[in-house]
Structure 1
């Protein structure tokens, strides 16, 4: 089942689906401004633990059940270590060592890994048009984040200058962003297994707490002066990243990931660098080049192709790719969709 916004029971479903990526993109802008005045592991922990308690409070208010049994806690712990500690830790450390644009490209390559894992584990197929959409999306975020001279040199066939700077590229921290992307991709898939045994909202809150505590422990052991130089504007930025960039964004993302198409949902991640660049321009006066604006356009096209792949295939009289039905009527997946 693809993500069908018009059939969602939630109000303003289209806006809710886009909201996590809007909050993540703008949270990157907020984090970029405060990082010079704090330490990465501390900031990563602050993004997770308070947000986890907020989600748990919302779960209690909504009457959602708490995890029960060792299997539930085992999956939540694994989920927390991968999607919480590893993802946020790699993201924060990578943000110190690399530019926000190129780092965003590395992180937002994760839909490719999600698509492959969803195909292997759940039988989700993206088909010809979906695959084209993924390739267009990767091209779009590459135009957004890669240096313009790299793109121009590649178009003219001059790859010598590019190959000579690849080693410098990965020494500057981009590999940490790649590890963050892989951690997020694995976490997106793990939520399906978590929801076999636990409520998705409660599990999301607990996984953020479980993932954030090791980050605080590492920060206490390895970092100093974590909050000494943070001013009011810095605390406001951290509060925004925690409340909107973590609590609300995570809650919405994993709610949809627990029951919809992982490939379709993760494809919207291509919106994150778009929002980051747009609000970086508005707030930080960062200017987009014509090449980057081309990347924004390709990104939006990729999202349309992936989410409308079945409809487009029928219109073009192509044979639709077989898709694993994730509806509650499927007895094999009923434990997942009921969580």
Structure 2
């Protein structure tokens, strides 16, 4: 339904504002602190709401997924946000589904079609336009952080497809946020030291990232994963770099060259082409009981990412 799509779209749209909030509201050069204060409070809030703890294998699985999706991804995300214009950082990070397609072929038995292969080539070309013709703001460390974040999140996504949680999606999300946040806690103090004196503006930025940018947005996103087809959710995820680019241009006055704009368009088009599948195909690929089951009219199932 249209209402479900609109509600789900708010999740990636909110994520697209992360880059603006980071550069304009948070203290400089504190990516680990930003990652910690975004993840741990949000995770504790979700766990308190659902009132459910992991059981059995999900203690260590939550730790692994939390380390990948939160403990490693968020510091790389914020490092890219500090060093790159928001729209560019988000667009470079949008190569993540291309990495997922390659990993899924090797570990999930998902065949890479010609369309996906061509889309991958187009995506790489688009990213090269963004990087090779960048202005002085696009430094190598920022690009490496954005790409590294896409890779670790892709690995976490593939493992999330293999490990199907018996718990509600919000519980699984809360476990990962808490696990990632706890891993970031000692690292933050060891690398960045004690938090600096925070202004009211800084506190407002951290509160936004934790409550809106993590707890609320993840709730909306996983609701959509449950209710909508996978291709619909994937398309809506592309709103994140679109919103980041729009905010950077309209609020921060950031400019992109013609080559960079073309690169962004190519990347977005490649992602849409690679992730678009028919509704029947989506219904054929499912996992029940944590095991691969052959669905009527289709191949082995693939679980939605928790």
**Which TM-score band applies after superposition, normalised by the shorter structure?**
0.7 to 0.9
Once structures 1 and 2 are overlaid, which stretch shifts more, 76-85 or 326-335?
326-335
Aligned to 2:215: 247
CA contact (8 A) 2:127 2:267 kept: yes
Kindly indicate whether residue 249 of structure 2 is the aligned counterpart of residue 281 of structure 1: yes
CA contact (8 A) 1:34 1:237 kept: yes
Kindly indicate whether residue 33 of structure 2 is the aligned counterpart of residue 42 of structure 1: yes
Aligned to 2:206: 238
Whole-Å Cα distance in 1 between the matches of residues 132 and 205 of structure 2? Answer: 27
> Offset at 1:173?
4.1
Distance 1:18 1:234, change over 3 A: same
Aligned to 2:297: none
CA contact (8 A) 1:56 1:206 kept: yes
Kindly indicate whether residue 98 of structure 2 is the aligned counterpart of residue 112 of structure 1: yes
Q: Tell me, what secondary structure is at the counterpart of 1:285?
A: coil
> Offset at 1:330?
10
Question: Who wins on radius of gyration, i.e. which is larger?
Answer: 1
> Offset at 1:135?
4.0
CA contact (8 A) 1:101 1:273 kept: yes
Once structures 1 and 2 are overlaid, which stretch shifts more, 213-222 or 69-78?
213-222
Kindly indicate whether residue 70 of structure 2 is the aligned counterpart of residue 79 of structure 1: no
Instruction: Quote the RMSD (CA, aligned, Å).
Output: 3.8
Aligned to 1:177: 146
Please list, as runs of the form range in 1=range in 2, the aligned pairs for 1:243-322 lying within 5 A after superposition: 243-254=211-222, 265=233, 269-310=237-278
Kindly indicate whether residue 200 of structure 2 is the aligned counterpart of residue 214 of structure 1: no
Which residue among 71, 76, 81 is the counterpart of 1:95? 81
Residue by residue over 1:177-206, the C-alpha shift from the partner in whole angstroms, topping out at 9 and shown as x without a partner, is 322111111122222344344332201101
Q: Structure 1: state its 5+ residue gaps.
A: 1-5, 61-65, 151-164, 312-319
Distance 1:174 1:306, change over 3 A: closer
Whole-Å Cα distance in 2 between the matches of residues 46 and 330 of structure 1? Answer: 33
CA contact (8 A) 2:134 2:260 kept: no
> Offset at 1:53?
2.2
Distance 1:307 1:175, change over 3 A: closer
Whole-Å Cα distance in 2 between the matches of residues 31 and 19 of structure 1? Answer: 19
CA contact (8 A) 2:86 2:248 kept: no
Which residue among 164, 167, 173 is the counterpart of 1:198? 167
> Offset at 1:248?
2.5
Distance 1:335 1:325, change over 3 A: closer
Whole-Å Cα distance in 2 between the matches of residues 309 and 70 of structure 1? Answer: 35
CA contact (8 A) 1:52 1:205 kept: yes
Distance 1:323 1:128, change over 3 A: farther
Q: Structure 2: state its 5+ residue gaps.
A: 294-300
Kindly indicate whether residue 292 of structure 2 is the aligned counterpart of residue 332 of structure 1: yes
Kindly indicate whether residue 131 of structure 2 is the aligned counterpart of residue 146 of structure 1: yes
| TM-score between the two structures when normalised by the length of structure 1 | 0.71
Kindly indicate whether residue 142 of structure 2 is the aligned counterpart of residue 186 of structure 1: no
Whole-Å Cα distance in 2 between the matches of residues 322 and 89 of structure 1? Answer: 33
Aligned to 2:296: none
Distance 1:12 1:221, change over 3 A: same
Whole-Å Cα distance in 1 between the matches of residues 290 and 162 of structure 2? Answer: 16
Whole-Å Cα distance in 1 between the matches of residues 53 and 277 of structure 2? Answer: 36
